[in-house]
């Protein structure tokens, strides 16, 4: 089952999507976690998180964005211009960050220059940067506009009952993913970070009902599975968009297991549930806008740091990889502050700036990770005598 989801994570269009389309159903792409999948699902559409994997050139991306910009949206624009998203019946883009906001403009223009690059339904969705009463109200109004727009274009009706059913379905996913997290936190962790990330990525590219069924079987099997850590360092991965399982494999090949993460595409999305008894639109607005784990949200650094520290404690993390895509201002800036504060708290950290897409920097990344593993080893060796001395003192 994990192998099936790893195949999904390694591709843009997968067998689940092909079957969905063969049944006459439509697929709606979205670019940011602040766009509620529940609304897309309630419209009878397949929510699909747009990715930029598989790019071999940035000729189109560079021509619109220029070279000095985050390579994540550039890879997506490249694939759009090449026609790789032709299976999408629509796309919703948002201001996740300034580069992603520019993607909306560039993709719109590329649709004029490259026939078929832009799907028939193409919309921009504005997300506030603070979670206060007036911004939640604005966000709820934007969601209502999204609902009306989807109803008009796709000739569907998104009722409150459909939204409530979708919320319940996605809350079931969140509970199962929380269970997966707890299994990753175990001392005898039964799953690699590579496989865990593949599961999380696949969840945004296949029908939710099928994903929940697979996830139930996977977590049930993992409860009885043997541990795989075998003395490996336990790492946590933090930072910007990371949907390349090969990157995690490079980290784990250095003698580690990634037991936790807060990356976009990863585990930052399912820590809490959407309220099921309130008005569904307001419940979605409140839930999604209060996801302060993303640094795009202003004024919540202390909350994000506390969230990370809680995971460090639960998962028994030995060290943290603070990665960001080059030119990612949000994560690049916050990673520096996190490094300062977490190091002061005694947690070894390594900042790693990289490009999104093919791992052309594998050698450099592996060299830096190897050095970080040695550093964690030295921290362990230095801490061991102190632990023994403390035990001796307690025993007397």
Strands 349-354 and 256-261: what pairing? unpaired
List, in sequence order, every residue forming a beta bridge with 93; answer none if it has no partner. 124
Give pLDDT, residue 372. Answer: 96
Which pTM was predicted?
0.92
Cα–Cα dist 366/246, whole Å: 12
Is 162-395 in CATH node 3.30.450.40?
no
List, in sequence order, every residue forming a beta bridge with 91; answer none if it has no partner. 29, 122
Helix (H) or strand (E) holding 354: strand 349-354
Query: Of 98, 97, 152, whose CA–CA distance to 123 is shortest?
Result: 152
Task: Work out the pLDDT band at 351, boundaries 50, 70, 90.
Answer: very high
Residues of the chain with CATH 3.40.50.11900: 162-395
Instruction: Give the neighbor-by-neighbor strand order of the sheet with 27-30.
Output: 46-49, 27-30, 90-94, 121-125
383: pLDDT strictly greater than 70:
no
The pLDDT tens digits for 239-294 are 988 898 999 999 999 999 999 999 988 888 899 999 998 899 999 999 999 987 89
E-state strands within 31-164:
46-49, 90-94, 121-125
Average pLDDT score over the chain: 92
Task: Work out the pLDDT band at 206, boundaries 50, 70, 90.
Answer: very high
- CB crowding 175-205: b at 16 or more within 10 Å, else e: ebbebbbebbbbeebbbbbbbbbbbbbbbbb
392: pLDDT strictly greater than 60:
no
Coil, strand or helix at 378: helix
391: pLDDT strictly greater than 50:
no
- Joined tokens for residue 136: 């939640």
Contact yes or no for 1/214 (Cβ under 8 A): yes
Task: Work out the pLDDT band at 43, boundaries 50, 70, 90.
Answer: very high
Pick one of 3.40.50.11890, 2.40.128.120, 3.30.420.40, 3.60.40.10 as the CATH number of 2-129. 3.40.50.11890
The pLDDT tens digits for 183-200 are 999 999 999 999 999 999
Residues of the chain with CATH 3.40.50.11890: 2-129
């Amino acid at each position: 089952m994990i192998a099936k989801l790893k195949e999904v994570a390694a591709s843009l269009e997968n067998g689940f999507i092909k079957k969905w389309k063969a049944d006459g159903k439509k697929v709606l792409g979205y670019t940011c976690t602040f766009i509620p999948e529940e609304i897309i699902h309630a419209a009878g559409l397949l929510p699909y998180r747009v990715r930029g994997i598989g790019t071999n050139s940035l000729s189109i991306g560079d021509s619109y964005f220029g070279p000095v910009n985050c390579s994540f949206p550039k890879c997506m624009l490249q694939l759009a211009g090449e026609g790789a998203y032709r299976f999408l019946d629509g796309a919703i883009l948002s201001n996740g960050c300034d580069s992603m906001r520019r993607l909306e403009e560039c993709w719109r223009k590329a649709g004029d220059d490259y026939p078929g690059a832009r799907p028939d339904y193409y919309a921009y969705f504005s997300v506030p940067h603070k979670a206060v009463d007036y911004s939640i109200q604005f966000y709820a109004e934007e969601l209502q506009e999204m609902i009306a727009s989807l109803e008009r274009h796709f000739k569907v009706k998104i009722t409150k009952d459909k939204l409530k059913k979708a919320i319940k379905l996605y809350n079931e996913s969140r509970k199962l993913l929380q269970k997966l997290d707890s299994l990753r936190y175990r001392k005898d962790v039964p799953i690699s970070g590579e496989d865990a990330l593949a599961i999380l990525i696949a969840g945004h590219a296949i029908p939710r009902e099928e994903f929940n069924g697979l996830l139930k079987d996977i977590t049930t099997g993992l409860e009885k599975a043997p541990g795989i850590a075998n003395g490996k360092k336990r790492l946590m991965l933090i930072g910007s968009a990371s949907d390349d399982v090969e990157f995690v494999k490079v980290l784990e090949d250095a003698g580690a297991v990634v037991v936790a993460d807060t990356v976009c595409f990863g585990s930052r999305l399912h820590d809490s549930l959407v309220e099921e008894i309130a008005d569904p639109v307001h419940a979605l607005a409140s839930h999604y806008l209060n996801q302060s784990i993303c640094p795009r949200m202003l004024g919540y650094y202390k909350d994000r740091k506390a969230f990370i520290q809680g995971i460090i404690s639960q998962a028994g993390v030995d060290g943290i990889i603070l990665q960001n895509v080059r030119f990612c201002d949000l994560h690049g800036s916050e990673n520096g502050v996190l490094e300062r504060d977490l190091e002061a708290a005694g947690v070894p950290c390594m900042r790693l700036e990289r490009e999104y897409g093919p791992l052309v920097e594998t050698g450099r990344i592996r060299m830096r990770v190897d050095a970080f593993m040695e550093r964690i080893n030295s921290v362990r060796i230095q801490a061991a005598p102190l632990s023994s001395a403390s035990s001796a003192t307690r025993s007397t």
